[in-house]
A = this chain, B = another copy of it.
Amino acid sequence: MNVPADTVRARLARVRGNARAAGVDALVVTHLPNLQYLTGFTGSSGVALVLPRACLLIVDFRYVTAATELISGLDGLVTLETFERSYDEALVDVLRRERAARIGIEAAYLPVSRFNAISSGLASRSALPIDVSTTSPALVPTERLVEQTRVIKDDIEIAALREGGRRLGAIARRVADFVREGRTERAVAADIEAAMRGAGFSRPAFETIVASGPNSALPHARPTAREIRPGDPTVLDFGGVYDGYCVDLTRTVQLGATSTALARLYGAVAEAQQAAIAAVRPGVAASAIDAAARNVLQNHGLAEAFGHGTGHGLGLEVHEEPRIARLWPRLADPLVEPGMVFTIEPGAYVPGVGGVRIEDDILVTETGCEILTRQEDGG
């Protein structure tokens, strides 16, 4: 989507506040979803430089026409730069011209080699050993300066996620029809992807998972040429990008008669998902939502069968903050806030029996949550 100027203004203001708090007077944005969030730019390469009173978008030849059109709608909030040589040389030129002193980089994404190239370009001396303390101007590793703003969705993001969730939920009601005896996992995946295109998704948000029979016990199986047989559980995990935003959903369907062991697994996972959804409200720790699901599975003797986290944030990326998972030392355990959007997707995988996963997307509200992928008018 094109982001309205007022939204860009608000997002830039928040990120400038984050940069100030981190003690940097310039922020080099190289992570493309962050670039898209701040400017609306959707190319496959580009750099933004957020300064206290300007935001520069650096793009290469291929994107000059598209970027010029994009920024023409942004009230002068973003200005365009292009170049002949390389992004890093262009960035160094701009940083020198703007006389930035403490320059934040996105440490979670900027590779060591680019850090070195920018650092040595600024210092005009050799880059190794990396030693930020003697580099002037200073290149400062920062974390989450854009992400901490992105984690709370604004109104236009919520509208896109709600509509995407509604459309994906409508497809979920039809997927059991795709799973028929003798069809291959790949054919079912193709049906799901065609249904997503038909429903207005621009592309799959990730490689569709269709995992039948023994494959269902692999949490991240890829579709194979295996033909689905009566008695098989089939895990269908799929998502699409709607208006730039990712939604993600899993259903486990059963062809033919269900074994007792599988029925118990399904019941336990469904109960775990309900418990986690019921635990969502502002102020609750992410790990407490995970624990709600995990305790249910533990009570069913399935603690070992649930080896992944309970959920992940959704937005411009299909995996983003917040992470809904067990508490680990040194990993963040955010408190849930209104405007967060994430998946709730417990699963249980038992080799020899099969696997079950059930996933929906929720929006945290003032009082609890709204399930985006189970709207009654979905479709």
Residue A141 CB within 8 A of the other chain: yes
Instruction: Name the CB-closest residue of B to A329.
Output: B85
Return chain B residues, CB-CB under 8 Å to A277: none
Q: 0/1 per residue, A255-283, Cβ < 8 Å to B?
A: 00000000000000000000000000000
A219 touches B62 (CB 8 A): yes
For the complex, is A303 an interface residue (Cβ under 8 Å from B)?
no
Whether, in the assembled complex, A129 has its beta carbon less than 8 Å from a beta carbon of chain B, the answer is: yes
Task: Provide the bound-state CA to CA distance between A131 and B143, in Å.
Answer: 19
Q: How far is the CB of A287 from chain B (nearest CB, A)?
A: 15
**A218-B130 contact given A107-B112, A112-B115, A116-B107, CB 8 Å threshold:** no
Q: CA separation between A217 and B66, bound complex, in Å?
A: 10
Q: A61-B219, A129-B130 are in contact. List 10 more A-B contacts (CB 8 A).
A: A62-B307, A62-B308, A65-B351, A105-B112, A107-B111, A107-B113, A112-B115, A112-B141, A113-B141, A128-B132
Report A's interface with B, CB cutoff 8 A: 42-44, 61-63, 65-66, 85-86, 105, 107-113, 115-116, 128-133, 141, 143, 186, 190, 193-194, 197, 202-204, 207, 217-222, 307-308, 328, 331, 351
Complex A-B: 27 CB contacts under 8 Å: A42-B222, A61-B219, A61-B308, A62-B219, A63-B220, A65-B217, A65-B218, A65-B351, A66-B221, A85-B328, A86-B331, A107-B116, A108-B111, A108-B112, A108-B113, A109-B111, A110-B112, A111-B111, A113-B141, A113-B143, A128-B132, A129-B133, A130-B130, A130-B132, A190-B194, A194-B194, A203-B204
